A = this chain, B = another copy of it.
Amino acid sequence: MDIIVLRPDVTDEQIEKIVKKLEAKGLKPHISRGAERTIIGVIGDTSKVTEDEENAIRAIPGVEDVVRILKPYKLASRDFKKTDTVIQVDNTVIGGKRVHIAAGPCAVENRVTLLDIAEKVKASGATFLRGGAFKPRTSPYSFQGLGVEGLKYLKEAKERTGLPIISEIMDPRDIDVMLDYVDILQIGTRNMQNFKLLMEVGSVDKPVLLKRGMSATIKELLMAAEYILSRGNEKVILCERGIRTFETATRNTLDLSAVPLLKSVSHLPVAVDPSHGVGKRELVGPMAVAAVAAGADMLLIEVHTNPEEALSDGEQSLTPEQFKEVMKKVKAVAEAIGREV
Protein backbone atom coordinates (compact mmCIF):
# COMPACT_ATOMS: atom_id res chain seq x y z
CA MET A 1 0.00 0.00 0.00
CA ASP A 2 1.17 3.49 -0.85
CA ILE A 3 -0.13 6.83 0.36
CA ILE A 4 -0.94 9.96 -1.62
CA VAL A 5 -1.02 13.10 0.50
CA LEU A 6 -3.20 15.88 -0.91
CA ARG A 7 -2.83 19.63 -0.53
CA PRO A 8 -5.45 21.48 1.52
CA ASP A 9 -6.69 23.12 -1.70
CA VAL A 10 -7.08 19.91 -3.71
CA THR A 11 -10.19 19.88 -5.92
CA ASP A 12 -12.65 17.06 -6.39
CA GLU A 13 -11.65 16.90 -10.04
CA GLN A 14 -8.05 16.31 -9.12
CA ILE A 15 -9.00 13.58 -6.70
CA GLU A 16 -11.12 11.95 -9.38
CA LYS A 17 -8.20 12.06 -11.80
CA ILE A 18 -6.01 10.24 -9.29
CA VAL A 19 -8.69 7.68 -8.54
CA LYS A 20 -9.02 6.89 -12.23
CA LYS A 21 -5.30 6.48 -12.67
CA LEU A 22 -5.19 4.05 -9.77
CA GLU A 23 -8.19 2.06 -10.86
CA ALA A 24 -6.70 1.76 -14.35
CA LYS A 25 -3.79 -0.07 -12.69
CA GLY A 26 -6.18 -2.42 -10.85
CA LEU A 27 -5.57 -0.65 -7.52
CA LYS A 28 -8.18 0.38 -4.99
CA PRO A 29 -8.03 3.92 -3.59
CA HIS A 30 -9.18 4.52 -0.02
CA ILE A 31 -9.83 8.19 0.74
CA SER A 32 -9.50 9.48 4.31
CA ARG A 33 -10.46 13.08 4.95
CA GLY A 34 -8.60 14.41 8.02
CA ALA A 35 -8.78 17.75 9.79
CA GLU A 36 -5.69 19.13 8.07
CA ARG A 37 -5.06 16.87 5.10
CA THR A 38 -6.94 14.40 2.96
CA ILE A 39 -4.97 11.31 1.99
CA ILE A 40 -5.53 8.43 -0.38
CA GLY A 41 -4.42 4.99 0.69
CA VAL A 42 -3.65 2.80 -2.29
CA ILE A 43 -4.60 -0.82 -1.77
CA GLY A 44 -3.40 -3.69 -3.98
CA ASP A 45 -0.10 -4.65 -5.59
CA THR A 46 1.50 -1.22 -5.76
CA SER A 47 4.77 -2.67 -7.01
CA LYS A 48 3.13 -2.38 -10.44
CA VAL A 49 3.23 1.42 -10.14
CA THR A 50 6.47 2.54 -11.79
CA GLU A 51 8.51 5.53 -10.67
CA ASP A 52 7.30 7.32 -13.80
CA GLU A 53 3.68 6.75 -12.89
CA GLU A 54 4.43 7.91 -9.37
CA ASN A 55 5.91 11.12 -10.78
CA ALA A 56 2.91 11.63 -13.01
CA ILE A 57 0.70 11.51 -9.92
CA ARG A 58 3.00 13.98 -8.17
CA ALA A 59 2.57 16.26 -11.17
CA ILE A 60 -1.13 16.70 -10.44
CA PRO A 61 -1.40 20.14 -8.79
CA GLY A 62 -3.48 19.00 -5.81
CA VAL A 63 -0.89 16.39 -4.76
CA GLU A 64 1.52 17.32 -1.99
CA ASP A 65 3.47 14.09 -1.70
CA VAL A 66 3.46 10.42 -2.62
CA VAL A 67 4.77 8.02 0.00
CA ARG A 68 5.90 4.65 -1.32
CA ILE A 69 5.92 1.88 1.23
CA LEU A 70 7.70 -0.76 -0.84
CA LYS A 71 11.35 -0.54 -1.77
CA PRO A 72 12.00 0.24 -5.45
CA TYR A 73 14.42 -2.68 -5.82
CA LYS A 74 13.18 -6.23 -5.81
CA LEU A 75 15.69 -8.85 -6.93
CA ALA A 76 18.39 -7.25 -4.78
CA SER A 77 16.26 -7.24 -1.64
CA ARG A 78 16.30 -9.57 1.32
CA ASP A 79 12.50 -9.73 0.99
CA PHE A 80 12.93 -11.40 -2.40
CA LYS A 81 15.65 -13.84 -1.31
CA LYS A 82 16.07 -14.62 2.38
CA THR A 83 19.35 -16.53 2.24
CA ASP A 84 22.75 -14.96 1.68
CA THR A 85 23.94 -15.11 -1.90
CA VAL A 86 27.18 -17.04 -2.18
CA ILE A 87 29.28 -16.56 -5.30
CA GLN A 88 31.64 -19.25 -6.55
CA VAL A 89 34.92 -18.15 -8.13
CA ASP A 90 37.28 -20.97 -9.10
CA ASN A 91 37.41 -23.18 -6.01
CA THR A 92 36.37 -20.61 -3.42
CA VAL A 93 33.19 -18.76 -2.49
CA ILE A 94 32.46 -15.13 -1.65
CA GLY A 95 29.73 -14.46 0.89
CA GLY A 96 30.41 -17.38 3.23
CA LYS A 97 32.37 -17.64 6.45
CA ARG A 98 35.67 -16.69 4.85
CA VAL A 99 36.58 -13.01 4.50
CA HIS A 100 38.41 -12.53 1.20
CA ILE A 101 41.26 -10.13 0.62
CA ALA A 102 41.79 -8.78 -2.89
CA ALA A 103 45.13 -7.02 -3.03
CA GLY A 104 47.30 -5.55 -5.74
CA PRO A 105 48.31 -2.32 -7.44
CA CYS A 106 45.90 0.42 -8.43
CA ALA A 107 47.02 0.14 -12.04
CA VAL A 108 48.94 -2.61 -13.82
CA GLU A 109 52.14 -0.81 -14.81
CA ASN A 110 54.44 -3.49 -16.19
CA ARG A 111 54.84 -7.25 -16.12
CA VAL A 112 57.69 -7.55 -13.64
CA THR A 113 56.22 -5.29 -10.99
CA LEU A 114 52.82 -6.95 -11.22
CA LEU A 115 54.20 -10.47 -10.85
CA ASP A 116 56.30 -9.36 -7.93
CA ILE A 117 53.34 -7.75 -6.15
CA ALA A 118 51.12 -10.75 -6.87
CA GLU A 119 53.53 -13.18 -5.28
CA LYS A 120 54.03 -11.01 -2.25
CA VAL A 121 50.35 -10.43 -1.50
CA LYS A 122 49.69 -14.12 -2.02
CA ALA A 123 52.39 -14.93 0.53
CA SER A 124 50.70 -12.68 3.10
CA GLY A 125 47.31 -14.30 2.63
CA ALA A 126 45.55 -12.41 -0.17
CA THR A 127 42.97 -14.56 -1.98
CA PHE A 128 42.36 -12.37 -5.04
CA LEU A 129 44.55 -10.13 -7.18
CA ARG A 130 43.22 -6.69 -8.05
CA GLY A 131 44.70 -4.34 -10.65
CA GLY A 132 43.44 -1.96 -13.30
CA ALA A 133 44.21 -2.32 -17.01
CA PHE A 134 41.67 0.33 -18.06
CA LYS A 135 41.88 3.28 -15.69
CA PRO A 136 39.28 6.04 -15.24
CA ARG A 137 41.35 9.16 -14.55
CA THR A 138 40.09 12.61 -13.60
CA SER A 139 42.68 14.19 -15.87
CA PRO A 140 43.12 13.44 -19.57
CA TYR A 141 46.83 13.95 -19.00
CA SER A 142 47.17 11.10 -16.46
CA PHE A 143 48.23 7.51 -17.19
CA GLN A 144 45.17 5.77 -18.66
CA GLY A 145 46.23 2.16 -18.14
CA LEU A 146 47.95 -0.46 -20.32
CA GLY A 147 44.70 -1.84 -21.76
CA VAL A 148 44.76 -5.39 -23.12
CA GLU A 149 48.48 -5.66 -22.43
CA GLY A 150 47.67 -5.16 -18.75
CA LEU A 151 45.01 -7.86 -18.88
CA LYS A 152 47.60 -10.29 -20.22
CA TYR A 153 49.93 -9.61 -17.33
CA LEU A 154 47.07 -10.14 -14.90
CA LYS A 155 46.34 -13.52 -16.47
CA GLU A 156 49.98 -14.51 -16.21
CA ALA A 157 49.99 -13.44 -12.56
CA LYS A 158 47.02 -15.69 -11.97
CA GLU A 159 48.75 -18.61 -13.65
CA ARG A 160 51.71 -18.17 -11.33
CA THR A 161 49.89 -17.52 -8.06
CA GLY A 162 46.49 -19.08 -8.51
CA LEU A 163 44.87 -15.81 -7.40
CA PRO A 164 41.68 -15.02 -9.35
CA ILE A 165 41.60 -11.59 -10.98
CA ILE A 166 39.42 -8.53 -10.31
CA SER A 167 39.72 -5.75 -12.87
CA GLU A 168 37.63 -2.79 -13.96
CA ILE A 169 35.58 -2.54 -17.15
CA MET A 170 34.95 1.02 -18.37
CA ASP A 171 33.53 0.61 -21.85
CA PRO A 172 30.72 -1.71 -22.98
CA ARG A 173 32.80 -2.39 -26.11
CA ASP A 174 35.43 -4.12 -23.95
CA ILE A 175 33.15 -6.81 -22.57
CA ASP A 176 34.44 -9.67 -24.74
CA VAL A 177 38.10 -9.09 -24.08
CA MET A 178 37.47 -8.69 -20.36
CA LEU A 179 35.66 -12.02 -20.21
CA ASP A 180 38.78 -13.71 -21.59
CA TYR A 181 41.07 -12.40 -18.90
CA VAL A 182 39.32 -11.63 -15.61
CA ASP A 183 37.38 -13.55 -12.98
CA ILE A 184 35.42 -10.65 -11.51
CA LEU A 185 34.36 -7.62 -13.53
CA GLN A 186 34.61 -4.43 -11.51
CA ILE A 187 32.26 -1.51 -12.13
CA GLY A 188 34.02 1.59 -10.81
CA THR A 189 32.48 4.31 -8.69
CA ARG A 190 32.18 6.76 -11.62
CA ASN A 191 30.27 4.17 -13.65
CA MET A 192 27.80 2.99 -11.02
CA GLN A 193 25.06 4.72 -12.98
CA ASN A 194 26.48 4.07 -16.45
CA PHE A 195 23.36 2.11 -17.24
CA LYS A 196 24.55 0.89 -20.63
CA LEU A 197 27.56 -0.68 -18.97
CA LEU A 198 25.40 -2.20 -16.23
CA MET A 199 23.17 -3.78 -18.85
CA GLU A 200 26.20 -5.20 -20.59
CA VAL A 201 27.65 -6.89 -17.49
CA GLY A 202 24.14 -8.01 -16.57
CA SER A 203 24.02 -10.10 -19.72
CA VAL A 204 27.09 -12.23 -19.09
CA ASP A 205 27.85 -15.11 -16.73
CA LYS A 206 30.66 -13.59 -14.68
CA PRO A 207 30.64 -12.13 -11.15
CA VAL A 208 30.44 -8.33 -10.95
CA LEU A 209 31.92 -6.21 -8.16
CA LEU A 210 29.76 -3.08 -8.15
CA LYS A 211 31.34 -0.10 -6.45
CA ARG A 212 29.08 2.43 -4.81
CA GLY A 213 29.05 5.77 -6.62
CA MET A 214 30.82 8.41 -4.62
CA SER A 215 27.56 10.23 -4.10
CA ALA A 216 25.18 7.31 -4.42
CA THR A 217 22.71 6.45 -1.71
CA ILE A 218 22.33 2.88 -0.50
CA LYS A 219 19.06 2.76 -2.42
CA GLU A 220 20.71 3.86 -5.65
CA LEU A 221 23.47 1.29 -5.20
CA LEU A 222 20.83 -1.40 -4.90
CA MET A 223 18.98 -0.03 -7.94
CA ALA A 224 22.22 -0.27 -9.91
CA ALA A 225 22.57 -3.88 -8.73
CA GLU A 226 18.99 -4.39 -9.83
CA TYR A 227 19.97 -3.39 -13.39
CA ILE A 228 22.49 -6.24 -13.41
CA LEU A 229 20.26 -8.76 -11.66
CA SER A 230 17.26 -7.98 -13.85
CA ARG A 231 19.31 -8.87 -16.94
CA GLY A 232 19.93 -12.33 -15.54
CA ASN A 233 23.34 -12.06 -13.85
CA GLU A 234 22.81 -12.98 -10.21
CA LYS A 235 26.47 -12.76 -9.19
CA VAL A 236 26.75 -9.25 -7.82
CA ILE A 237 29.08 -8.15 -5.02
CA LEU A 238 28.30 -4.73 -3.57
CA CYS A 239 31.29 -2.59 -2.63
CA GLU A 240 31.50 0.37 -0.24
CA ARG A 241 34.47 2.57 -1.19
CA GLY A 242 33.85 5.89 0.51
CA ILE A 243 31.37 8.62 -0.22
CA ARG A 244 31.88 12.27 -0.94
CA THR A 245 31.26 14.58 2.00
CA PHE A 246 32.41 18.02 3.15
CA GLU A 247 35.42 16.49 4.94
CA THR A 248 38.67 17.00 3.04
CA ALA A 249 41.13 15.49 5.52
CA THR A 250 40.44 12.11 3.95
CA ARG A 251 39.97 11.42 0.23
CA ASN A 252 36.43 10.18 0.86
CA THR A 253 34.40 9.26 3.94
CA LEU A 254 34.31 5.48 4.26
CA ASP A 255 30.75 4.63 5.25
CA LEU A 256 31.21 1.40 7.18
CA SER A 257 27.63 1.47 8.43
CA ALA A 258 26.73 0.60 4.82
CA VAL A 259 28.08 -2.90 5.49
CA PRO A 260 25.59 -4.08 8.15
CA LEU A 261 22.86 -2.01 6.49
CA LEU A 262 23.34 -3.62 3.07
CA LYS A 263 23.53 -7.06 4.61
CA SER A 264 20.22 -6.47 6.38
CA VAL A 265 18.26 -5.20 3.38
CA SER A 266 19.96 -7.30 0.68
CA HIS A 267 21.18 -10.88 0.28
CA LEU A 268 24.24 -9.90 -1.76
CA PRO A 269 27.81 -10.12 -0.43
CA VAL A 270 29.44 -6.84 0.60
CA ALA A 271 33.03 -5.76 -0.03
CA VAL A 272 34.90 -2.72 1.31
CA ASP A 273 37.74 -0.78 -0.31
CA PRO A 274 39.52 1.06 2.51
CA SER A 275 42.31 2.28 0.20
CA HIS A 276 40.07 4.54 -1.87
CA GLY A 277 37.85 5.12 1.12
CA VAL A 278 40.48 7.07 3.02
CA GLY A 279 43.24 7.74 0.48
CA LYS A 280 45.99 7.87 3.10
CA ARG A 281 48.26 4.93 3.64
CA GLU A 282 48.45 5.16 7.42
CA LEU A 283 44.65 4.98 7.75
CA VAL A 284 44.18 1.96 5.47
CA GLY A 285 45.15 -0.60 8.10
CA PRO A 286 42.80 0.55 10.87
CA MET A 287 39.93 0.87 8.41
CA ALA A 288 40.57 -2.56 6.88
CA VAL A 289 40.34 -4.07 10.34
CA ALA A 290 37.24 -2.03 11.17
CA ALA A 291 35.58 -3.13 7.92
CA VAL A 292 36.00 -6.78 8.89
CA ALA A 293 34.62 -6.02 12.34
CA ALA A 294 31.60 -4.36 10.68
CA GLY A 295 30.90 -7.56 8.74
CA ALA A 296 32.53 -7.18 5.32
CA ASP A 297 32.82 -10.30 3.17
CA MET A 298 35.75 -8.99 1.17
CA LEU A 299 38.39 -6.26 1.30
CA LEU A 300 40.10 -4.54 -1.62
CA ILE A 301 43.51 -3.23 -0.63
CA GLU A 302 46.02 -1.45 -2.83
CA VAL A 303 49.54 -2.81 -2.49
CA HIS A 304 52.59 -1.69 -4.44
CA THR A 305 56.20 -2.79 -4.04
CA ASN A 306 57.33 0.78 -4.61
CA PRO A 307 54.55 3.27 -3.93
CA GLU A 308 56.92 6.14 -4.63
CA GLU A 309 57.17 5.04 -8.26
CA ALA A 310 53.54 3.96 -8.70
CA LEU A 311 51.86 5.41 -11.78
CA SER A 312 48.68 5.98 -9.81
CA ASP A 313 47.47 6.15 -6.21
CA GLY A 314 50.94 5.74 -4.69
CA GLU A 315 49.80 7.83 -1.75
CA GLN A 316 47.31 5.24 -0.55
CA SER A 317 49.16 2.03 -1.46
CA LEU A 318 50.64 -0.18 1.22
CA THR A 319 54.05 -1.74 0.79
CA PRO A 320 54.07 -5.57 0.93
CA GLU A 321 55.55 -5.32 4.43
CA GLN A 322 52.78 -3.01 5.61
CA PHE A 323 50.20 -5.27 3.99
CA LYS A 324 51.61 -8.23 5.88
CA GLU A 325 51.17 -6.40 9.19
CA VAL A 326 47.63 -5.37 8.33
CA MET A 327 46.78 -8.97 7.43
CA LYS A 328 47.80 -10.14 10.90
CA LYS A 329 45.30 -7.80 12.54
CA VAL A 330 42.64 -8.57 9.95
CA LYS A 331 42.98 -12.27 10.74
CA ALA A 332 42.87 -11.72 14.49
CA VAL A 333 39.72 -9.61 14.27
CA ALA A 334 38.03 -11.95 11.79
CA GLU A 335 38.55 -14.83 14.19
CA ALA A 336 37.34 -12.75 17.14
CA ILE A 337 33.97 -12.34 15.43
CA GLY A 338 33.74 -15.96 14.30
CA ARG A 339 35.00 -15.68 10.73
CA GLU A 340 38.21 -16.67 8.98
CA VAL A 341 40.60 -15.16 6.44
Interface size, chain A (Cβ < 8 Å)? 111
From 242 to 259 in chain A, residues with beta carbon under 8 angstroms from any chain B beta carbon are 243-250, 253-257, 259
Known: A230-B140, A257-B254, A336-B333. A55 touches B290 (CB 8 A): no
Give the contacts of A189-242 with B (CB-CB under 8 A): 190-191, 193-196, 213-215, 217-220, 223, 226-227, 230-231
Q: A56 and B337 in contact (CB under 8 A), knowing A32-B41, A171-B172, A215-B214?
A: no
12 A–B contact pairs at CB < 8 A?
A34-B44, A55-B313, A55-B314, A59-B307, A59-B308, A67-B67, A170-B195, A214-B215, A254-B257, A257-B278, A290-B291, A292-B293
A residues 33-87 near B (Cβ < 8 Å) are 34-37, 39, 41, 43-45, 47, 50-52, 55-60, 65, 67, 69-70, 72-73, 79
When chains A and B are docked, how far (Å) is the Cα of A329 from the Cα of B338?
10
Contact A223 B336 (CB under 8 A): no
Which B residues are CB-close (under 8 A) to A196? Answer: 170-171
Q: Which residues of B contact A289 (CB under 8 A)?
A: 293-294, 337
Question: In whole angstroms, how far apart are the Cα atoms of A139 and B226 in the complex?
Answer: 8
Is the CB–CB distance between B220 and A138 below 8 Å?
yes
Query: In the complex, A249→B262 CA distance in Å?
Result: 10
Q: Is A335 an interface residue (CB 8 A)?
A: yes
Q: Are A281 and B230 in touch, CB under 8 angstroms?
A: no
For A244, the chain B residues whose CB sits under 8 A away are 215, 246
**How does the 8 Å CB contact mask read for A276-299 relative to B, with 1 for contact and 0 for none?**
011011110011011111110000
Say whether A264 contacts B282, CB under 8 Å: yes
User: With A58-B314, A314-B56 in contact, do A246 and B217 touch (Cβ < 8 Å)?
Assistant: yes
Give the contacting residue for A41; candidates B41, B142, B190; CB below 8 A. Answer: B41
> CA of A79 to CA of B82 in the docked complex: distance in angstroms?
45
Contact across chains for A310 and B260 when beta carbons are under 8 A apart: no
Stretch at the interface among A1-9, A95-103, A125-133, A156-164: A1-9
> B195 and A137: CB pair below 8 A?
yes
Q: Does A309 contact B (CB under 8 A)?
A: yes
The reply to whether A139 and B51 contact each other, CB–CB distance below 8 Å, is: yes
Cross-chain contact B277 with A50 (CB below 8 angstroms): no
